[in-house]
Every structure is written in structure tokens, then in C-alpha cells.
């Protein structure tokens, strides 16, 4: 039986349903045979992958390794992944450190092939269990995303924003990390209602726009403030509301009947959107 997450009708109301039932749904999901087989295989065989070459040669091991860091879609980029792993993270010019995507650095740092002779991280029980725990979390996200990708993005944002935004660095550097993490960026840019064209601007200008919008909407330009649970809730509320207005209201949207009438009048789409926002 394929796991089918319960998210109601989607949107912000669906997100609240998912939050309330999440713990139980995760329990059910983690008992699924496919997940149990993947986990058992990784636990029994990862110690034999003593080099990056060994890891990328075993698709089943690599599936769990990449999935644990939200990089499952990269599995066919084996030469790329091997280079990330083999160069590690200790040298400033290591491949992972030169990429804009922080998840690669986290992957390389965790496995330690380029930092520890022989890739000894794979021999540690704590390491194996940590990767398995990460994989289970991400696999649940993926299952939810197959039903509603916005829910997957929201789960990822709630979990990851604190670690990305709260690292010991400058405010500007934290914004660069957030902007370089595509799932986090998509949630924030949507919540801020930023146009796609922003991504084409100079990176420093992009950072200024994100910081200014954060100050305007959430009361603080410092990205570490986004670690506050109340701020996370507000970001996700706005994310789902903006996404719903972008996709258009449905018959189940509050105020839908009034919106339908307005669409046939001179008030037009702008007034429709304002009325919808007033109902949320």
C-alpha cells in the first residue's frame, strides 16, 4: 500500500491539518516496506563504502545518502557528487565550499571522505543512525510533495531555516546562504511576493531586497529572526496565501461567491485579490 499523506484541501488550512497529524503520519510512513528495506540496506552496507568512489557506485546507498540531505534529485550526477565528496570541506577552495548550494557542503562534511583518511565516518554507528534519521525525515517530505509540493516546501522551511539562518556569520552571509538554498528561497520569495525578475539582479541587490522585505513584513532584517517559531508560522501563512492567490481561488476558498461576482465587474482581478486576502 502506497502511503497517502492527509493534507485536507491543501493551502494554509491543509498545512494546519498536516501539522496537527504529522507525528502520527510519520509513524505510519516509517513502517512502509520500501522505506524499511532502504534503511536496512544502508545500515548493513554503508561501512563497506570506504571511499567516495564506492558510495557513488552503489545506487541504493547513494539514494539514502543524498536523500538525507534533500539531494535525491541529483543521484544521476555521479561524477559531480564524487568530486564534492572527495574534496571534503576543510580547504577553502574545496569544491563543496565553492558551490552556492549549502546542502552539498553538509553532505561532504558529514561523510568526511575528503577530511578523514579512508572515509572513516561510515564506520561509526552514530553516523549511520544520523543519516538514516535524516533520510526518514526527507523521505516523508518527498511523499508529501508527491501530493502537494507546497507542503513539502513548508516542511523543509520549518526544519531548515533555523540552521541556515542562525549559523555564526554576518547578516549578509546568512542571507546569501538562504538565497543559495533553492527550497528556502522559494518559500521566502513567495511569502514576500517577490517577482521572478529579482533572481536576475546582481546578488548584492537581491540580498538588499530580501533584507528590506523581511524588515517590512516580519519586523527585522536580520535573517536569524526567522528562527523564531512565530516568524516561521507567519512566513508559512503568507507563503500559502500568496500561492493561493497566484493559483486563483477555488469554490472552497472563503469569499469565493463574492469573488466570482467581482470578476464580472469593472473592479477586476485586483479587487478580487484584495477581497480574498481580507478573508484570510
pLDDT digit string, tens, across residues 9-50: 789 999 999 999 999 999 999 999 999 999 999 999 999 999
Q: Do 38 and 143 lie in a common domain? A: yes
Looking at residue 274, what DSSP letter applies? H
Is the separation of the CB atoms in 56 and 82 below 8 Å?
yes
The least confident of 42-46, 151-155, 207-211, 274-278 is 274-278
pLDDT digit string, tens, across residues 124-177: 999 999 999 999 999 999 999 999 999 999 999 999 998 887 766 789 989 998
Q: Do 184 and 272 lie in a common domain? A: yes
Q: Say if 51 falls within a structural domain.
A: yes
**Beta-carbon contacts of residue 144 (< 8 Å; ≥ 6 apart):** 5, 7, 18, 151, 152, 155
Of the residues 147, 177, 204, the one at which a domain ends: 147
Q: How far apart, in whole angstroms, are the C-alpha atoms of residue 105 and residue 107?
A: 5
Between vectors from CA 96 to CA 90 and to CA 101, what angle results, nearest 5°?
A: 135
Q: Say if 15 falls within a structural domain.
A: no
Is the separation of the CB atoms in 223 and 178 below 8 Å?
yes
Tell me the whole-structure pTM to 2 decimals.
0.78
User: Residue 255: what pLDDT?
Assistant: 47
Q: Say if 266 falls within a structural domain.
A: yes
Residue 52, domain CATH? 1.10.3700.10
Q: Say if 8 falls within a structural domain.
A: no
Q: Say if 273 falls within a structural domain.
A: yes
Is the separation of the CB atoms in 103 and 181 below 8 Å?
yes
Q: Say if 134 falls within a structural domain.
A: yes
Beta-carbon neighbour count of residue 218 at 10 Å? 21
Domain carrying residue 243: 169-278
State the Cα torsion 256-259-261-262 to the nearest 10°.
Answer: 180
Q: Do 111 and 191 lie in a common domain? A: no
Q: Say if 156 falls within a structural domain.
A: no
Q: Say if 20 falls within a structural domain.
A: no
Q: Determine what percent of the chain is predicted with pLDDT higher than 70.
A: 85
Amino acid at each position: 500500500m502506497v502511503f497517502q499523506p492527509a493534507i485536507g484541501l491543501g493551502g494554509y488550512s491543509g498545512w494546519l491539518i498536516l501539522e496537527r497529524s504529522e507525528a502520527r503520519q510519520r509513524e505510519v510512513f516509517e513502517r512502509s516496506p520500501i522505506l524499511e528495506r532502504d534503511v536496512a540496506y544502508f545500515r548493513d552496507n554503508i561501512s563497506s563504502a570506504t571511499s567516495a568512489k564506492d558510495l557513488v557506485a552503489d545506487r541504493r546507498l547513494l539514494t539514502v545518502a543524498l536523500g538525507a540531505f534533500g539531494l535525491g534529485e541529483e543521484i544521476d550526477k555521479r561524477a559531480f557528487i564524487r568530486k564534492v565528496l572527495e574534496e571534503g570541506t576543510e580547504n577553502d577552495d574545496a569544491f563543496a565550499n565553492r558551490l552556492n548550494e549549502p546542502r552539498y557542503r553538509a553532505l561532504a562534511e558529514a561523510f568526511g571522505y575528503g577530511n578523514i583518511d579512508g572515509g572513516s565516518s561510515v564506520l561509526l554507528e552514530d553516523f549511520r543512525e544520523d543519516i538514516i534519521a535524516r533520510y526518514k525525515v526527507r523521505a516523508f517530505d518527498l511523499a508529501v510533495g508527491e501530493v502537494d509540493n507546497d507542503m513539502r516546501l513548508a516542511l523543509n522551511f520549518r526544519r531548515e531555516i533555523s540552521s541556515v539562518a542562525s549559523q555564526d556569520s554576518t547578516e549578509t552571509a546568512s542571507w546569501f546562504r538562504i538565497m543559495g538554498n533553492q527550497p528556502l528561497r522559494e518559500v521566502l520569495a513567495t511569502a514576500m511576493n517577490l517577482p521572478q525578475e529579482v533572481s536576475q539582479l546582481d546578488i548584492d541587490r537581491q540580498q538588499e531586497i530580501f533584507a528590506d522585505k523581511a524588515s517590512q513584513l516580519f519586523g527585522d532584517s536580520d535573517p536569524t529572526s526567522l528562527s523564531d517559531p512565530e516568524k516561521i508560522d507567519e512566513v508559512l501563512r503568507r507563503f500559502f496565501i500568496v500561492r493561493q492567490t497566484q493559483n486563483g481561488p477555488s469554490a472552497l476558498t472563503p469569499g469565493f461567491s463574492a469573488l466570482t461576482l467581482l470578476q464580472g465587474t469593472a473592479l477586476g482581478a485586483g479587487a478580487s485579490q484584495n477581497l480574498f486576502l481580507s478573508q484570510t
